[in-house]
Structure 1
Amino acid sequence: MTTHSSASSLLAKRERTDRNRFHMRVWLGVVLVAIFALVLVGGATRLTDSGLSITQWKPIHGVIPPLSVEEWQEELELYRQIPEYQQINKGMSLDEFKRIYWWEWAHRFLARSVGVLFAVPFVFFLLTGRVESRLRWPLAGLFFLGGLQGAVGWWMVASGLVERVDVSQYRLATHLTLACIIFAAIMWVQRGLAPHSHRQEPPQGLRFFAGILVLMVLVQIYLGGLVAGLDAGLSYNTWPLMDGAFIPGDVFAIEPVWRNFFENPKLVQLDHRLFGYLVWLAALAHMVTSLARMPGTTHARRSVVLFALVTIQAIVGIVTLLLQVPFDAALTHQGGAVVVLGFAVAHYRGFYGEYPRETEIAVGS
């Protein structure tokens, strides 16, 4: 009787854990969609040169946009004080200002919404005992990382308010990359809460290769942030040659040499191209290795999908460059980078299987 009661209790705990995991997966999935939308709106804000239209950081009060003509005039007057207006947009009308203001306001509003979407359910799940102990601190860390991202966003905007007509490419790339790191971390947790259909232990090195691919995609996203920050995609719009050569000249025109990797538009674009080729080759090698060493498994099938996504992303990037960075193509390219990253993380997490249930850990111990 005691054995039967213990088995029933364990089964009930397992069912409760599965139910809680399902609810948390839905919650984290909604957060992932919101972050994806946030990255897209951030890209649109950059492409429309709207990021400096709001010159103050008001995390709470800033959620309310101007509601009267007087308030709109106050915002425009603040914008008139910064170099971007004085050197590029001098004479901008109120209606023209509103168009760029709404992009930046939407970006900040969506960022606040992501914080609420994460924080409120997390507190609820935590207080009701639905968050497994191993995930409490990681999820709390993600919440604070989101707060840091907000501060980094303002740090980025502040760089364009004095002595510059645009934000620092260093800070823009950091802001984008941190958003993608948060996205990747949430994807990792969400994937770990999902049932895994194939539990075969991968060959030594294959899982490590998948992790390297995730890091490579993040580096490529950072390089893309530098390209965007310098508007480096608006020049040298040929492929596969660049300025008439595969490796153009004058890529080390700035002193000291290291600054060229971050401040020379020609070298920044070249780096993004070359590292993109490297990511493509790595995804190809990973797919071939997976198909050879784990044929017929979900791991191998995921490697094929990942390679296809990387290939599509590369094609979109080339088209974006050749068309001189039109709005829709550029935004598709930025969104595609997040999709590739998300799938790369999910693929890598798949090699580890789902999180062990605490009841299973207790029984095993």
Structure 2
Amino acid sequence: MIPEVDIFVGNYTIIDQEVFELWIQGYAVGETVSVLQQRGELEAWGASLELVTSDTADHYRTFGMLEKLLVTPPKLAEEWTFQLEPALQKMVIQKYYEFDDIVIREIIGKKLSGRTRKDLDDVAEKTGVLLRSCRRQFDNVKRIFKQVDEMTGSVVTNIQASFLLPTHLAKKYAAIVFIINNRFETSKRKLNYLTCEDFCVCASQMMTSWTTAATTAPPGPPDTNHDDTDLDRDFLIELRDFKLLLDREKEHRNVTLSHLRGKIPDRMCSEVESNFKTYSRGIINIGCSLNNSRDLRDFFIDAVEKVVDPCRQARWKSAELQIFLQVYADAGSALDIMTKKPRGKSDHNLRGTWERYMNTMRVCITQLYHS
């Protein structure tokens, strides 16, 4: 007698989210089965090891075919072979493009070349992330960078349109694209303590304030030849006028101290009074040199060496440092020389350039300072 068999036929592809997560992490079929066994999945379902292995291998075949569509997410919605419910489709895309900060930290300071990809086994060993996952993350960064590199407009918007990523993830990739596009130096030993998050926070702030698409940029018709990964070269040239502040250093110090007293401990006020020149010249000299491509690439190195390290030596608390930077910026804005018109910018004065610069520098210095 033929036993009864229940058969269900449906249109939607079933994704085991637990197995998919392990596939994303780079586990092979056998490794995934071992993890499931350790988690007690076999006992929970009353399944044999052979059955779970066969089922996992089947899932992996599905994921392998699905991956061909995940490199171009919009095609996933049009694909009839793999029909996924909208919520599941979003989950699959997001999981595939999520990354480990420690892996991306190793990637952003290098060229997105075949040689770098071959060396990912070193990254895997250093970070403890499986090689398959490192390769997926590298390929995703390279794919997104190549896709949006020649596009105009908002990088975040372009990434979302091309890869259907949620806003928070698209913003992270946009910051990574900005860092790679502008070739910032991130791999020097002095910067080893910094995290991917540190670089991304600074990059996002620069994109908001220092690019041609910045909301603080001069008014006028939008420049369709640039996007928010292109730094505003006119702005960078204007920064050279900060040398005028060096001639008014004593006045700048006195105004800063007069507004600082009572807001931070007296010990730190004395520190500012004694070493104002070190802090101020570090901040100003970085700005004055940013129009030079090499100095721009060394922004993070200079910020750490000229500002962050002196702050560390003085043992600033993060909250106190934030107060000092705000008061320092406001004191600079209050100087009468700030009414001077930057060369070639008759519709802007130096105060606007200073505030545009310091709004970002305050965020960057605070982020790079690990007390």
TM > 0.5 fold call: no
Higher relative contact order (CA 8 A, sep 6+): 1
Larger radius of gyration: 2
Higher helix share: 1
TM-score by length of 1: 0.29
* TM-score normalised according to structure 2 size: 0.28
